[in-house]
């Protein structure tokens, strides 16, 4: 039995965060460089597991490697300077925003990655607003300063105007592109000049100087030096200082400049982030009360399901965020949805797709539980009384298709894949009155991933046939009579009625014609499965 002192001390060491970004901002590269500086890998770009030397990456699916995009959340745990980081590398593609939304429910903080040349982009805005809705503090890292970038004041101004949050620089860049020489640490009042390393595979050497060091001026062209000093004077005089309370209350976002690909500024960022990132805090429950991470017993929730992460195992894993207390291997916990006790015998910590069996974990940690079909998204586990959390949001899909098996000899594998991938939330599966199934998604790429995974992971070749419907809404049983044959009626996995519409125009007209008709973008809690 772990002592309360040990539990409190371990929770104090935890930092759990997600990285959010628009595609191509450099999110996977930043993830690898944080692991490089955290000592979890030896060579960036060739992420090596700590125990057996096998290669692993945060992007592990075949389609992720082919396209160079993240389409599934990856959990990575590493230690740095006596802190335990739980890093969640979220999908950057907008078609997988639901996975990102669920992942942010498991994070205490977010790192918002911006491209220094492109600034705030559409997907960044969407993800930032999710963080704001959840009161998640956001740290901003402006990347790719080794390439031609926009004026730093212009970037700060855009963050403030578009995202309506005060931007407070912590590191200030010394030039950009080929003239990017390093950064000035505003809090430490030191200049860090970096040496370029070929490909950025190893930690970047740097030299520390003061602003009065005569070598500083010789490092830069006169025009660049003057612009840097003038900008720094303006930062110190006109912009507000960093205040921890303002950051934790989401009033400000501390801003860092650097280059993930060349490692400029990464170590400084990690040091500051370790100090300012929030520790696991109280969780607000459905009844309005709070759950303290250190003073309560074990409680956790399932925020992600994943099948076939490793071809050797061919199993399903439930990603669990620990909310309070301590987890010990072999403990019993109550699964609230089923009102039954489950024994937690095979817990694992993740490093990309690689896993390590663990004996204990604490509030703030992300662990995996082997899932024989027991767990569902949003499930709550606890060692004491039931813990009620607000329900996971379910989003109305905007694209629909039939998925047809191409090999009748593989029907069993096809049905298994359909069930397991739907449980993960890759797509939503709906049942039609004739017994057939329709899949729904937010974007076309979800269909492609679903089809590829069915074939590659379950050996079930298939064909996607897109249906001509644009939007959907859940409704009530008593309102089904009000829909015409022009609409398509179905039921979701919980048996709740949902209606597919040919167009947004048709939906809008129906709302005008029948204002009392119950239509929901998310299935309301009061709706019961039939």
Question: Of 218, 251, 278, which residue sits at a domain end?
Answer: 278
Q: Averaged in consecutive runs of 10 residues, what is the pLDDT profile of the chain (530 residues)? A: 90 95 87 83 43 42 51 76 89 61 89 96 86 92 95 97 97 91 92 72 70 84 89 92 96 96 90 96 86 89 78 75 95 92 86 79 93 87 85 79 92 90 85 87 84 91 93 92 88 91 93 92 56
Q: What is the pLDDT of residues 140-167, one digit of tens each?
A: 999 999 999 999 999 999 999 999 999 9
Nearest CA among 282, 277, 322, 283 for reference residue 302 = 322
- Closest by CA to 165, choosing from 186, 139, 143, is 139
- What pTM value is reported for the model? 0.81
Residue 4 structure tokens: 């309360």
Residues 214 and 69 in one domain: yes
Is 184 within the bounds of a domain? yes
pLDDT of residue 496: 92
- Does residue 111 form part of some domain? yes
- Exposed e or buried b for every residue in 393-412, given b needs 16+ CB within 10 A? ebbbbebbbebebeeeebee
Report how far apart, in Å, the C-alpha atoms of 139 and of each of 114, 238, 423, 466 are.
11, 20, 32, 40
Q: Is residue 322 part of a domain?
A: yes
Identify whether residues 240 and 186 lie together within a single domain.
Answer: yes
Residues 355 and 449 in one domain: no
CA-wise closest residue to 30 among 82, 72, 83, 90: 90
Residues 48, 42 contacting (CB under 8 angstroms): yes
Q: Give 462's strand partners.
A: 405
Residues 453, 342 share a domain: no
**Closest among 369, 365, 351 to 50, alpha carbons compared:** 351
Q: Which two tokens stand for residue 359?
A: 């004996």
Cβ proximity of 255 and 169 under 8 Å: yes
Do 304 and 427 belong to one domain? no
Predicted local distance difference test score (pLDDT) of residue 51 = 38
Q: Which residues contact 203 (CB under 8 A, 6 or more apart)?
A: 36, 37, 197, 263, 267
SS3 159: helix
3-state class of 340 per DSSP? strand
State whether residue 467 is helix, strand or coil.
Answer: strand
CATH number for the domain spanning 420: value is 3.30.70.3280
User: Is residue 28 domain-resident?
Assistant: yes
Where residue 355 sits, what CATH number does that domain have?
2.40.30.10
Domain count, the chain: 3
**DSSP string for residues in 289-325:** -EE-TTTS--EEEEEEEEE-SSTTT--EEEEEEEEES
Sign of the Cα pseudo-torsion (422, 85, 8, 368, in order): positive
pLDDT in tens, 391-442: 776 777 888 999 899 999 999 999 998 888 888 877 889 988 888 889 998 7
> Which residues form the domain of 505?
399-513
Q: Is 10 within a domain?
A: no
Q: The domain spanning residue 181 has which CATH number?
A: 3.40.50.300
Structure tokens at 109: 């903080």
Specify the DSSP class assigned to residue 236. H
Q: Of 278, 307, 335, which residue constitutes the final position of a domain?
A: 278
- Report the distance separating Cα 136 and Cα 449, nearest Å: 30
């Amino acid at each position: 039995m772990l002592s309360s002192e040990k539990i409190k001390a371990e929770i104090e060491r935890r930092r759990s965060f997600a990285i959010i970004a628009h595609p191509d901002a450099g999110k996977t590269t930043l993830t690898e460089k944080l692991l490089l500086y955290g000592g979890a890998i030896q060579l960036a770009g060739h992420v090596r597991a700590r125990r057996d030397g096998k290669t692993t990456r945060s992007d592990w699916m075949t389609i992720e490697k082919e396209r160079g995009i993240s389409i599934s959340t990856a959990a990575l745990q590493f230690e740095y300077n006596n802190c335990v980081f739980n890093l969640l590398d979220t999908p950057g593609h907008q078609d997988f925003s639901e996975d990102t939304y669920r992942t942010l429910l498991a994070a205490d903080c977010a790192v918002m990655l911006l491209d220094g040349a492109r600034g705030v982009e559409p997907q960044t805005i969407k993800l930032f607003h999710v963080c704001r809705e959840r009161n998640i503090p956001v740290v901003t890292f402006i990347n790719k300063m080794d390439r031609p970038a926009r004026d730093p004041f212009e970037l700060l101004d855009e963050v403030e105007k578009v995202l309506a949050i005060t931007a407070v620089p912590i590191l200030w860049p010394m030039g950009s592109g080929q003239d990017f020489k390093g950064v000035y640490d505003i809090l430490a009042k030191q200049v860090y000049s970096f040496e370029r390393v070929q490909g950025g595979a190893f930690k970047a050497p740097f030299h520390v100087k003061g602003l009065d060091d005569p070598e500083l001026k010789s490092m830069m062209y006169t025009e660049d030096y003057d612009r840097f000093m003038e900008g720094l004077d303006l930062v110190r005089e006109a912009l507000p200082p960093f205040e921890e309370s303002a950051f934790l209350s989401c009033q400000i976002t501390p801003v860092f400049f650097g280059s993930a690909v060349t490692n400029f500024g990464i170590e400084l960022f990690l040091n500051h982030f370790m100090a300012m990132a929030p520790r696991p805090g109280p969780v607000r429950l459905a009844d309005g009360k709070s759950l303290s991470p250190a003073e309560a017993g074990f409680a956790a929730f399932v925020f992600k399901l994943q099948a076939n992460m490793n071809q050797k195992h061919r199993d399903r894993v439930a990603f669990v965020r620990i909310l309070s207390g301590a987890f010990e291997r072999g403990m019993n916990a109550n699964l609230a949805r089923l009102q039954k006790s489950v024994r937690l015998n095979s817990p694992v910590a993740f490093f990309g797709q690689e896993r390590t069996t663990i004996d204990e974990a604490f509030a703030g940690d992300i662990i995996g539980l082997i899932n024989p079909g027991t767990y569902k998204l949003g499930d709550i586990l606890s060692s004491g009384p039931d813990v009620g959390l607000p329900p996971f949001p379910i989003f109305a899909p905007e694209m629909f298709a039939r998925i047809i098996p191409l090999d009748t000899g593989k029907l069993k594998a096809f049905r298994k894949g359909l069930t397991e991938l739907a449980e993960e939330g890759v797509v939503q599966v709906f049942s039609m009155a004739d017994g057939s199934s329709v899949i729904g998604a937010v974007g076309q790429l979800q269909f492609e991933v679903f089809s590829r995974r069915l074939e590659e992971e379950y050996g079930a070749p298939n064909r996607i046939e897109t249906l001509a419907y644009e939007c959907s809404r859940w409704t009530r049983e008593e309102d089904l009579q009000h829909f015409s044959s022009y609409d398509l009626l179905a039921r979701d996995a919980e048996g709740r009625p949902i209606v597919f519409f040919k167009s947004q125009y048709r939906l809008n007209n129906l709302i005008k014609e029948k204002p009392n008709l119950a239509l929901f973008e998310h299935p309301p809690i009061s709706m019961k499965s039939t």
